[in-house]
Amino acid sequence: MYHIKYSISPKKKSTLTKIIFLIFFVSFISFVSIFSFLFLLSKQIITLPNDFQNYNKTLTKQNLSLPQIAKKVVPSVVGVLSYSDVSAQTLVSEGSGVVLSKDGYIITNAHVSKGGSSFKVMLYDGKVYSASLIGSDTATDIALLKADANNLTAADFKSAENASVGDIVLAVGNPGGIAFNSTTTMGIISATNRSIVTSEGYIVSCIQTDAAISPGNSGGALINTSGQVIGINSSKIVADGFEGLGFAITSDVALQIAYELKEYGHVKNRAALGVSYQFIDKQASEYYSIPKGIYIHDIINESAMIAGIKKGDIITAIEGNEIKDITDVTKILLQKKPGDKVELKIYRSTNGTVFTVKITLIESDRSSQLLD
């Protein structure tokens, strides 16, 4: 048997000692530096740059901890189940909603309720209630449900006017559906009063955030650090080609629409052409050799019928303004009221004739006049 003895030469011992001393010395200097910095800062002998001071103020404005915020808000956010049949057997979509009042009124997105004949809402504790659709406004993507429930926990709504870029926000909802109910994600406000064009062509004021907003989050709440709802999340409002951009309809817009839906079942005093239509974009225009504009599928406005407008006609201009984009239609209608007269330029696809007519605008009492 062989015994091998290891030994450290004096030179190696000396090197090890130097390393230990160096580590101790650096640690000591670091400790003294940090202590001195904090002491001088407390005596205001030195001051932080404005950026650091503002960041500190932002954090101190948070009067609730993140767990406290979640505890306050989660009971006010529900899962929304939309069924195509009255017997609630065929599920067509899932989303989220925010409790407007304790007697069962719930704000959600119009695209969540679209195609639904019956609805159910699920609370954070698993309780399920039947609900009915009070009204839906696809122009702003806001809908109002009424659950068969009392003593719900109403959310604390706050105007988004005072929201600032850089503010911390939380998105609460059900990403991926009911299986992930009451999920909370965090981010910051990237922009306020961001004008976003909805699928209806209307321009809606939104809050832009990097907090994750997926389809199941639609209709959920965007929360400030006081646990107040400043926006209604919408995955339908997106910016094509960009990652990590989420949008929430401001609480100011959402509440205004919700209360009108509660009172009238639709948004009052919004002018409409009184026809259901589909926008013809550049690609369709070139493919079918027809002008850009809006293709008329159906007519509900008696004035339009009397003027001689027919199904299949294409409106190419309103009040002399060519229709190059769907927003061209909504911009004009937003400046008008029901009862106003407008001039339309019509292209009749059956014989290629072009003519102008005048019609009287009606009040929009339908959730949508733009077909998918």
Which residues carry out catalysis? 111, 141, 218
Q: How many CA atoms lie within 13 A of 118 on its CB side?
A: 11
Amino acid at 152: L
- Beta-sheet strands, E only, within 159-274: 168-173, 183-197, 203-209, 221-223, 229-234, 246-250, 271-272
Nearest Cα neighbor of 136 from 161, 119, 157 is 119
CB contact burial 295-304 (16+ within 10 A = b; e otherwise): bbeebebebb
Nearest Cα neighbor of 231 from 96, 94, 101 is 96
Given the structure tokens 């009287």, which residue do they identify?
A: 360
Tokens for 184?
A: 């909370």
Strand partners, 120: 81, 130
- Output helix, strand, coil percentages for the chain, rounded to the nearest 5: 30, 35, 40
DSSP 322-333: E-SSHHHHHHHH
3-state class (DSSP) for residue 59: helix
CB atoms within 10 A of CB 258: 27
Amino acid at 293: G
CA–CA separation, 191 and 307 (whole Å) = 45
Amino acid at 220: G
**Cα torsion 239, 240, 246, 250: sign:** positive
Whether 79 contacts 96, CB under 8 Å: yes
Tokens for 52?
A: 């650091």
Q: How many CA atoms lie within 13 A of 282 on its CB side?
A: 2
Instruction: Mention every residue, 6+ apart, whose C-beta is less than 8 A from residue 212.
Output: 171, 175, 185, 187, 246
